[in-house]
Every structure is written in structure tokens, then in C-alpha cells.
Amino acid sequence: MEASTGLSRNIANTILEGFNRHFSIFQQITSGARERFEQADWHAVHASSRERITLYDQRIKETITKVQELYKIAGLDLDLWRDTKLCYMRLLSYHLQPELAETFYNSVFCHQFDRIYYTNEFIFVRNAISTDYIESTDSERVSYQSYYPNEIGLIAAIRQVIQQAGFQTPFEDLERDMRSIRKAIVKRFRGKLARKTHLNFQLSVICSPFFRNKAAYIVGHYTNGREDEGFALAVLNNEQGQLYIDTLLIGEKQLSIVFSYSQAYFMIEHQVPSAIVDFLQKILPERTRSELYSSIGLHKQGKSDFYRHFLHHMRHSSDKFVIAPGIRGMVMMVFTLPSYRYVFKIIKDKFAPQKEFTRKVVAEKYQLVKRHDRVGRMADMLEYSDVSLPQDRIHPDLLQELLDTCASSMTISDGKVIFKHLYIERRMIPLNMYLETATESQLERVIRDYGDAIKQLAAANIFPGDFLYKNFGVTQLGRVVFYDYDEINYMTECNFRKIPPPRFPEDEFSSEPWYSIEPFDVFPEEFGTFLLTNPKIRKVFMKYHKDLLSAAYWQKKKDNILNGIYEDVFPYPEGLRFRR
């Protein structure tokens, strides 16, 4: 028994060493975000983001190999792994990232053993260690700092916030930016009564800025009487050795787009991620902990928290999974639980004839989206293997369609339907369905945003491939997001062409084109044929996005990318930006 406990302790130590190594490398990459931003090294920004996403799986494989080689682990010894979990829990008592370490342990175990052992007896189905009030061991690295405008004045307090954000690069014109901030505050809080200060008036600001793409964000919240709202100062680099404040965002609605599930992951250096997530949840109460962990690059923790929340919801609901609203996909079978705001997607066994690719290619496209900058226009997804759902919670019509289209990806056993592989995304209103009931003002807004989405994806080196409205969704905030990834390609892989003039008059009436077409050829002037049949939609589209029908526009975007020009894509409306 003593020998077994000693082995369990050694295995637990080895797994924790694997996690600590992972988090150290993760932090090392993250800590370079400030320098990359201040040097305007946008190529390195994108490269480091991709590198950080792949870290976790590498460390898991490395740790499993070490455990198996050191301790000759071949099969599952139930008593040994029960003890190993208990030993691991003891090691986490004073750990600064216990929830992340628990998730790492789960991954090591689940990659080795059968799903029937994925219970709280062997893994952390529930968190064992509380993350409440964990703080950094470094007294200089608290999670947030408070400022008191009643003592020094609001503008002076905000100036202090900016100066203490740690930027080494000088500001282009900080006095101008401070005037812009003051105007934004006056506009937001109209009238003396709205601007009255109370005894408890304070600003609380996360000590490290959030870095993503070409921007940094100083994030905090203010408390004044009973009011308590989040805010963020967006800091940009003019690429001439100076910084400037681009806007002030106040309130959950404006911040939600910045922290959207369709954005790339932030980089923020801190020893206690749970403290950052706790702070963010106060200013973004509609965002789940899963989404917030994912937003700061800890997407595996996001998966763990999502799954716990999902299991909790399943225990406290009784509705059935049904086929998701919208036009059936040619590649994916999509279903949803009406009481839960997500959709579940499974790759079909066979695709429609016009889809000339394999299941492997589809999986690779989804991985591409995971690693790429989504610029707020592609939904993030959670990817799971061996997911079990109660058969009696699946509507008979859905179950039959799953059996007809996805039989190789599922098994039914003991009243459970087990899916080998599925993707989970936020549920949105399909754009084609939204347009069916949209008012004129809604139609104009959403078609304008649809075109903006395509342009912003193009700027990020993503060509959607299939522009049909059914492949886009409208979020709760009314933002258009692309979510069908099976035909996406890099812009740099595409050849944008203008249709050559017909050789003879009868060419235009031929069922076959009179010009050659290679696999990656794209003819933008054809987009209107299938997108703009509705006169109202056509009128709005041509008003704002006529250039999308021009091969020259697309070629210019491609040339910019090839020449290393990274265009600005802002997660907030242009109208909120400060004048310079």
C-alpha cells in the first residue's frame, strides 16, 4: 500500500511538473506581447498567437510519454489512479493556477483511458480547489489597482491609469487624447446630475493591458454610488514610434464586442488567471467563465468550464435536442437544445456532390479558424471527442437524421448516444432567416455589416468561399458573423480574375464558360448573380459594397497581405474613434 501511494505521489508530481512547464512557456510567449505591440511587429504578433494555441497539446503528449516511460504505465490500475488524483489535489493547495492544473490532469488521464472512467472518482469533473481570492505571491503584481478621482480629479486619475500601464513608447499627443476622453465622458454622462460623484467614487483597473492584434486595451470598471460599469481605453501604435488613445468604451454592450467569442484571444500576463476572469465577469455578466477563460487564451480551461456548465444545465432541464433552425448543411449536421444557447455540429459521412473534399479537409479548416485571427467575424468553436448524450433527450426526428447522415461518427449503447467528434458554437440567427422578417432599417444595417464582415475577413487573409446568407449568422448584438468553414481558403491562395469578354456573341448563351477555370480561380463579378436577386438587398449592397464585385478590389487586398501590410480592423464602430 505504501509503495502504491509513493508511486501515486510520483505520478502526481510528474503531471504537475508538466503543467508548470506548460504554463511557464505560455507566460513566456504572453509576456512578449507588450514589446511586440510597442515595436509594431505585427508579423510576430500573429506568429506568437498561433504558437501559443498549439502549446497545450504538445505538453500533454510530452507529459503522457514521461509518465508511461518513468512508471511503466500500460493499463488502468483503478486504485493507483484514485490515489494519484488525491495526491495531486494535495499538491494544488497553494497553487496559483489550480483550476488550470486540474484541467491539465484531466487531459493526461483522458488521453490514456476509456471514457467510462471520466468520473469525479478519477478526474476533476468538479473543481476540487477553490480559486476565490487567490492573489499573486508577488506583492507588486496584484490583479488590479484602484484610483480615487475624488482626491485628484477624474481626468488626473485617468491620466495616472494611462501612465501606470507600463508603456515605454511615448504617446503621440497625450493632452489631445485626454481632451478626447473628457469629451467622451461628458457625452456619455449628460447633465450635472448624471456626473455627480459619490463618496465611493473609484476606478479599478487591471494592472496589465490586454494585447490583441494591433491594439492594447486598458480595462477597468468604475464605481460611483450604485453605478458600477466596465470601461476600456483602446491604445494603438501609429507605427512611427508613438502611441495614441483611439477610443474610450464604457458599459457592457460596447465591451462585449471587444470580448466577443468571434475575436482572437487576448494576451495578458498574470500569475493568477482566475483573478482576471473574476474581474471580467463583473463587467461582462452575460459572458460565461468559459468564454472569458477562452478570451485570454486559456481555451482548454474554457472547454472544461463549458462542459461543467453543460452538465449542470442537462441536470436541470428536460427539453430535447432538435435539428437546428435554418437550411440543412451539405457538410455538417447541426442540432441544438432549445433551452441552451449553443449548436452542436458533426461532420457528415457523405457530402453533397458539389463538395469535392474529405472529412479530413473539413477538420483541417476548423483548425485553421482556431489558429487564425478571427477579427470578430468568425465564431470560435469548442471541439470535443467521445461526447455522451442521453438517448431519451434526443428528438426521434433528429436521431433518425443523425443515423442517416453521421452513422460512422456515433454509437448507441445503454441508452446513451456517443459522438466520436463534434464542434460546439454559439447559436445565432441564420442571416437568411433574419432577412426574411427584417424591417427596412434592419435590412440596411445588417447587409452593410454583412459586407463589412467579408471585407474584414479578407483583410485578415480569409476568403470565405461560400458567401450565401445561410453561412452567416446574426449575434445577439446584431453583428454578422461567418460560421461555415468548409470552403474557406487563405486570400493568398486565391486567384482573383475578371471574366474575359466573350469571343463570339453565342458564348454568352453557352451552358459552359468560354474561358479556362483553375481550382482556386475566383470571379467576384459573379457574386451578384446569387447574392443580389432581391432588389432591396441589391440596392443596399451596391450602396455600401459595390467594390466587392470587382476583381481589382480583391487583388489589392491580396497584394497588401503578400507585401506584409496588416490592415486595421476595429472591434468597435468607427463612430466611437477619437479624432486625431
What does the alpha-carbon distance between residue 243 and residue 339 come to, in Å, rounded to a whole number? 46
User: What pLDDT, on the 0 to 100 scale, is given for residue 360?
Assistant: 87
What does the alpha-carbon distance between residue 421 and residue 411 come to, in Å, rounded to a whole number? 11
Average pLDDT over the chain, rounded to whole?
Answer: 92
List the single range of 137-141, 398-402, 496-500 with lowest mean pLDDT.
137-141
144-to-135, 235, 382 alpha-carbon distances in Å: 10, 18, 30
Percent of the chain at pLDDT > 90 equals 78
Q: Which CATH number fits domain 430-549: 2.60.40, 1.20.120, 1.10.287, 1.10.510?
A: 1.10.510
Angle at the Cα of 367 (from 477 to 527), degrees rounded to 5? 60
Q: Which residues of 9-38 are buried (b: 16+ CB within 10 A; e: fewer)?
A: bebbebbbebbeebbeebeebbebbbebbb
Across the range 209-235, mean pLDDT stands at 96
Domain 2-117 has CATH 1.10.132: yes
* pTM for the whole structure: 0.92
| Cβ contact 488:362 at 8 Å | no
Cross-strand bridge partners of residue 481: 473
What does the alpha-carbon distance between residue 196 and residue 191 come to, in Å, rounded to a whole number? 9
What does the alpha-carbon distance between residue 28 and residue 48 come to, in Å, rounded to a whole number? 10
Task: Round the CA-based radius of gyration of the chain to a whole number and report it.
Answer: 26
Question: Side chain identity at 509, as an amino acid letter?
Answer: F
pLDDT in tens, 121-169: 999 999 999 999 887 766 556 899 999 999 999 999 999 999 999 999 9
User: What pLDDT, on the 0 to 100 scale, is given for residue 263?
Assistant: 85
Q: Would the CA dihedral through 414, 420, 426, 427 be positive or negative?
A: negative
> Annotated catalytic sites, by residue?
380
pLDDT in tens, 255-299: 998 998 888 899 999 999 999 999 999 999 999 999 999 999 999
User: What pLDDT, on the 0 to 100 scale, is given for residue 515?
Assistant: 82
What does the alpha-carbon distance between residue 312 and residue 289 come to, in Å, rounded to a whole number? 14
Angle at the Cα of 382 (from 417 to 405), degrees rounded to 5? 40
Q: Would the CA dihedral through 439, 445, 446, 451 be positive or negative?
A: positive
pLDDT in tens, 362-380: 888 888 888 888 888 998 8
| Cβ contact 245:572 at 8 Å | no
User: What pLDDT, on the 0 to 100 scale, is given for residue 140?
Assistant: 57
A 10 A CB-CB count for 202 gives: 18
pLDDT in tens, 532-557: 999 999 999 999 999 999 999 999 99
Domain spans in the chain, listed from the N-terminal domain onward: 2-117, 144-298, 317-427, 430-549
User: What pLDDT, on the 0 to 100 scale, is given for residue 195?
Assistant: 77
* Ranges of H-type helices in 97-251: 98-110, 149-152, 154-163, 174-188
pLDDT in tens, 433-483: 999 999 999 999 999 999 999 999 999 999 998 899 999 999 988 999 999
Examine the pLDDT at 37 and tell me if it is beyond 80: yes
111-to-60, 93, 117, 386 alpha-carbon distances in Å: 9, 25, 11, 11
